[in-house]
């Protein structure tokens, strides 16, 4: 069986399980809020699925570079499925508690990070370098499913109920695990080339960071991703309150679906196109384009304008990640892919919780008061984007767009980044 077909099978099964997990995450979050009416507990559930995914990166990389990668995928998916099954059983017996959901989210985040690191480490061994950007673009379709999950989950809740959604998620995991069990992968794909790491486990936890600091060109790409992720997270945490400041929850659902459609379209385009030939330049240009679409969110409180801007902004996401990840995967020594990518995920993802913790209070206590009709910025910034509810959020998104533009400018102008594509892989 050709490796491209093997990749397609693994990609589709991972997409299926990712869709199921997104639906489960949404309905469990709804259950927490409806049961407790507590935004704090709702946020706790979100953090339970966010923090472990960031911290576990180096550990995941060690596993990926030491053990059979197909088995690692099977084990990580199986553990997540067991966790989901326990939550479904607790729900059916009326014993489900918020801490059960936090624990399940915690376990799912760890296993999801291991799955993603393994998947990305295997991809360059299945896909020729010229197709890596296509493959990474297709991977972003899972993000589209996560963004569009509220609309689909709302319909499923009415049709099959919360327990039905959990059972559906279990079915997707069964398909994914079954596919991996049946699928035969070459030994060179399952086991790291060169036999994997010979370091002590503790030394391996620092290996990825040492590798990146020894190759500062690659570290610069990871830091660029960190800046992009920060900007993306700020926009992500603010766009829903922005929409609700002028629209109903039904409007929010439609616009979230539009955003998911933008990611989906971007992933498909990357899958067909393969991205720009000069990947770093393309990464910077699409970041710059994304910043322009963020600005469009702020012009006026219009559902149509924000829906189009959100879809266009999120269209750029698969291109940025697809091209940048392709450069990383092709410039990292194959024997070190797991450890280095695990560290890169941790560094790149560290900006997300910081953005979440920063953006909300800034909007609520600083920019919103400044753009009230009688606020200090009503006579200047207010003349451009308006005053009243939600306009302070729009102002913060405008600042976020400028931050993203600055990151894009750095990607396009820093010499260390411009030349990274011409360099060969090295071992630290």
pLDDT score recorded for residue 195:
54
Contact 341, 121 (CB under 8 A): yes
pLDDT score recorded for residue 134:
81
Please give the structure tokens belonging to residue 92.
């059916």
What distance in Å separates the CA atoms of residue 25 and residue 49, rounded to the nearest whole number?
9
Of 109, 111, 328, 340, the closest CA to residue 206 belongs to 340
Q: Provide DSSP, 165-195.
A: HHHHHHHHHHHHHHHHHH----HHHHS-GGG
CB-based burial, 281-302: b 16+ in 10 Å, e otherwise: bbbbbbbbbbbbbbbbbbeebe
What is the rounded average pLDDT for all residues in the chain?
85
Residue 1, pLDDT above cutoff 80: no
What distance in Å separates the CA atoms of residue 301 and residue 75, rounded to the nearest whole number?
47
pTM of the model: 0.77
What distance in Å separates the CA atoms of residue 25 and residue 33, rounded to the nearest whole number?
12
pLDDT score recorded for residue 310:
93
DSSP 8-state symbol, 425 = P
What distance in Å separates the CA atoms of residue 215 and residue 337, rounded to the nearest whole number?
14
DSSP, collapsed to helix, strand or coil, labels residue 426 as strand
> What is the Cα 15 distance to its own chain's centre?
13
Residue 309, pLDDT above cutoff 70: yes
Q: Provide DSSP, 125-158.
A: HHS-GGGHHHHHHHHTHHHHHHHHHHHHHHHHHH
> pLDDT digit string (tens) for 270-283?
888 888 888 899 99
DSSP, collapsed to helix, strand or coil, labels residue 332 as strand
Q: Give me the CATH topology for the region 203-421.
A: Growth Hormone; Chain: A; (1.20.1250)
Residue 104, pLDDT above cutoff 90: yes
Which residues are CB-contacts of 240 (< 8 A; sequence separation ≥ 6)? Answer: 252, 256
> Can you state the angle between helices 69-92 and 57-66, rounded to 10 degrees?
130
The listed range with the strongest mean pLDDT (174-178, 268-272, 389-393, 402-406) is 402-406
Task: List the CATH code of the domain at 1-190.
Answer: 1.20.1250.20
Stronger pLDDT, 270 or 305, i.e. the higher one: 305
Contact 60, 342 (CB under 8 A): yes
pLDDT band of 426, cuts 50, 70, 90? very low
pLDDT score recorded for residue 428:
40
pLDDT score recorded for residue 145:
67
Please give the structure tokens belonging to residue 405.
């533009």
What distance in Å separates the CA atoms of residue 165 and residue 22, rounded to the nearest whole number?
10
Q: Which residue has the tokens 């797991």?
A: 338
> pLDDT digit string (tens) for 313-334?
999 998 999 898 888 888 888 7
pLDDT score recorded for residue 146:
66
Contact 153, 19 (CB under 8 A): no
What length does the chain have? 428
- For 337-341, what is the mean pLDDT? 86
What distance in Å separates the CA atoms of residue 270 and residue 273, rounded to the nearest whole number?
5
> pLDDT digit string (tens) for 211-254?
999 888 889 999 999 999 999 989 988 888 888 888 887 787 78
What distance in Å separates the CA atoms of residue 405 and residue 310, rounded to the nearest whole number?
17
DSSP 8-state symbol, 67 = S
Domain spans of the chain? 1-190, 203-421
Residue 194, pLDDT above cutoff 60: no
Q: What is the sign of the dihedral through the CA atoms of 78, 52, 327 and 282?
A: positive
pLDDT band of 427, cuts 50, 70, 90? very low
Beta-ladder partners of 332:
426
Stronger pLDDT, 341 or 421, i.e. the higher one: 341
pLDDT score recorded for residue 302:
92
Contact 140, 318 (CB under 8 A): yes
């Amino acid at each position: 069986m050709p490796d491209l077909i093997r990749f397609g099978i693994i990609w589709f099964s991972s997409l299926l399980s990712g869709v199921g997990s997104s639906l489960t995450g949404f309905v469990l979050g709804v259950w927490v809020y409806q049961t407790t009416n507590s935004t704090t507990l709702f946020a706790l559930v979100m953090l339970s699925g966010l923090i472990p995914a960031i911290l576990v990166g180096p550990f995941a990389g060690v596993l990926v570079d030491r053990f059979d990668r197909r088995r690692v995928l099977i084990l990580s998916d199986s553990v997540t499925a067991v966790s989901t099954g326990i939550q479904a059983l607790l729900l059916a017996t009326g014993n489900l508690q918020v801490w059960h959901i936090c624990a399940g989210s915690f376990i799912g985040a760890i296993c999801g990070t291991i799955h993603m690191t393994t998947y990305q480490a295997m991809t360059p061994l299945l896909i020729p370098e010229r197709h890596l950007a296509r493959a990474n673009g297709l991977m972003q379709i899972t993000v589209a499913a996560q963004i569009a999950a509220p609309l689909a989950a709302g319909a499923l809740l009415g049709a099959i109920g919360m327990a039905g959604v959990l059972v559906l998620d279990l079915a997707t995991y069964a398909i994914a695990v079954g596919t991996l069990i049946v699928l035969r992968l070459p030994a060179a794909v399952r086991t790291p080339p060169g036999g994997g790491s010979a370091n002590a486990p503790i030394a391996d936890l620092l290996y990825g960071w040492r590798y990146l600091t020894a190759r500062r060109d690659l570290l610069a790409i990871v830091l660029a991703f960190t800046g992009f992720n920060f900007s993306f997270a700020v926009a992500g945490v603010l766009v829903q309150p922005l929409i609700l400041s002028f629209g109903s929850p039904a409007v929010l659902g439609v616009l979230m679906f539009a955003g998911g459609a933008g990611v989906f379209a971007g992933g498909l385009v990357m899958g067909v196109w393969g991205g720009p030939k000069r990947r770093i330049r393309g990464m910077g240009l699409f970041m710059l384009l994304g910043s322009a679409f963020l600005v469009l969110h702020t012009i006026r409180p219009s559902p149509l304008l924000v829906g189009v801007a959100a879809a266009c902004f999120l269209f750029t996401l698969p291109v940025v990640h697809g091209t940048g990840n392709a450069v990383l995967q092709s410039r990292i020594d194959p024997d070190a892919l797991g450890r280095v990518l695990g560290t890169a995920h941790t560094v790149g993802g560290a900006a997300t919780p910081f953005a979440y913790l920063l953006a909300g209070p800034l909007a609520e206590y600083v920019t919103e008061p400044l753009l009230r009709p009688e606020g200090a910025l009503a006579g200047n910034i207010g003349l451009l984007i308006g005053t009243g509810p939600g306009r302070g959020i729009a102002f913060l998104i405008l600042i976020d767009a400028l931050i993203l533009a600055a990151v894009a400018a750095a990607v396009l102008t820093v010499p260390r980044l411009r030349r990274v594509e011409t360099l060969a892989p090295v071992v630290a």
